[in-house]
Amino acid sequence: MRTYLVTGGAGFIGSNYIHYMFEKYGDTIRIINVDKLTYAGNLENLRSIEDRENYTFVKADICDTDVINEIFEENDIDRVVHFAAESHVDRSIKNPEVFVKTNVLGTLVMLNAAKAAWELEGGTFKEDKKFLHVSTDEVYGSLENEGEYFYETTPYNPHSPYSASKASADMLVKAYMDTYKFPANITNCSNNYGPYQFPEKLIPLIINNALQGKKLPVYGDGKNVRDWLYVEDHAKGIDMVQEKGKLFETYNIGGHNEKRNIEIIYIILDTLQEMLPDTDSRKKLISRDLITYVEDRKGHDRRYAIAPGKIKEEVGWEPDTMFTEGIKLTIKWFFEHEDWMRNVTSGEYKKYYEDMYK
Ligand code: NAD
Ligand code: TYD
């Protein structure tokens, strides 16, 4: 039975990945999920699988060398899928230190622990051991001209403390592959959306605010472009890269779906109107009048867009979910999980929101 060590599995993409993997592989794999449970990690995301015999949760910081080494010593880990990170650009602008600690130093701890467990005498590695480092397209910087795309060969040019920390982590993974022939892959994915996304990110924030008749903050002119991917498609892409991709390669994972932020907001408002029954009192709160242009994000990247050729040709992956369908699935999920939204938006997040949008 193959054993996976997933880091950050209580977060947005990590929890979707764990659900996807159990649905796909059932009892034929084992997953150990290591998560520190920061504000972004939530065990409610995993409630429906937490009693499985082939699932273990370990509350730990990936920067804790002893604990991470111990997990490798006590378990014969076959696959590492490394999601754990601080992931929000706005928070990185306010407080970069924790981004460097978790994203850079934490990745180094994971690399060293896997290397120590997997390396044989003579510097080769045990067979069929693989490390997948989950990264972002933001490491490539910002596209300013129509018709330009991010390729796997595009030079790194990160702008925010978040993307700089992810770029640094990617460079460490590349260095381990080049120096030690450490068996790894890197995936650089575009913006995700879907169930369990924390409402500090654009799409869940807009859904949550619109349903409460609260203002919808748009940074700058609202014309920044992101390439949105439904999270389950990302989970599938990660698994396909790990099993079908060439070792040591980087694969970009893109949404095939570039949209301006303001277009995203219009689509969400229209879809909410369409999906809410006439009897629901929230329906009359939802309107474009809620849109409020606010001060732009510092160093706001203009456009991200991924050239999707390599992963399609070498791995056979393409997204399955069109945005019009994915946004409906996402809104339906939020309708059905109002308690989840209430829980994550109370307490610490409330303070962050008031400070951020004051
Ligand atoms: P998230 O913020 O929702 O979840 C991060 C998880 O990591 C949380 O469960 C948190 O508790 C955990 N974590 C944070 N610091 C930790 C530490 N020191 N030790 C152990 N666990 C820790 O993030 P996400 O959106 O799910 O992103 C997951 C990964 O995917 C990140 O590496 C991110 O850079 C990358 N990524 C995200 C997107 C996106 O659109 N969200 C796109 C491309 C790549
Ligand atoms: P976000 O979801 O934070 O992802 P990222 O910055 O990693 O791309 O933001 C997506 C886009 O939406 C980005 O251009 C910033 C913009 N945005 C707003 O206009 N208003 C908001 O309240 C938020 C959170 C983001």
- 84 in contact with ligand 2, CB cutoff 6 A: no
List, as one string, the DSSP characters of 101-132.
IIIIIHHHHHHHHHHHHHBPTTS-B-TT-EEE
107 lines ligand 1 (CB under 6 A): no
pLDDT tens for each residue of 271-325: 999 999 999 999 999 999 999 999 999 999 999 999 999 999 999 999 999 999 9
Average pLDDT (110-136) is: 98
pLDDT value of residue 188: 98
- Whether 349 has a pLDDT exceeding 80, the answer reads no
What is the number of the ligand 1 atom nearest to the C-alpha of 41? Answer: 9
Check residue 355 and give its pLDDT.
Answer: 84
Three-class SS of residue 348? helix
Q: pLDDT at position 350, please?
A: 80
Residues forming the active site = 137-138, 162
Distance 15 CA to ligand 2 centre (A): 21
> pLDDT tens across 203-260, in order?
999 999 999 999 999 999 999 999 999 999 999 999 999 999 999 999 999 999 999 9
Cα 208 to averaged position of ligand 2 atoms, centre (Å): 15
Ligand positioned closest to the Cα atom of 223:
2
Gap from CA of 85 to ligand 1 centroid (Å): 4
The CA angle 306-309-310, to the nearest 5 degrees, is 100
- Mean pLDDT for 167-196 is 98
Q: Is the CB of 340 under 6 A from ligand 2?
A: no
Question: What integer best gives the mean pLDDT of the chain?
Answer: 97
Ligand that lies nearest to the alpha carbon of residue 264, given by its number in the listed order? 2
Beta strand spans in 231-339 (E): 250-253, 258-260, 291-294
Q: Ligand 2 atom closest to Cα of 89?
A: 6
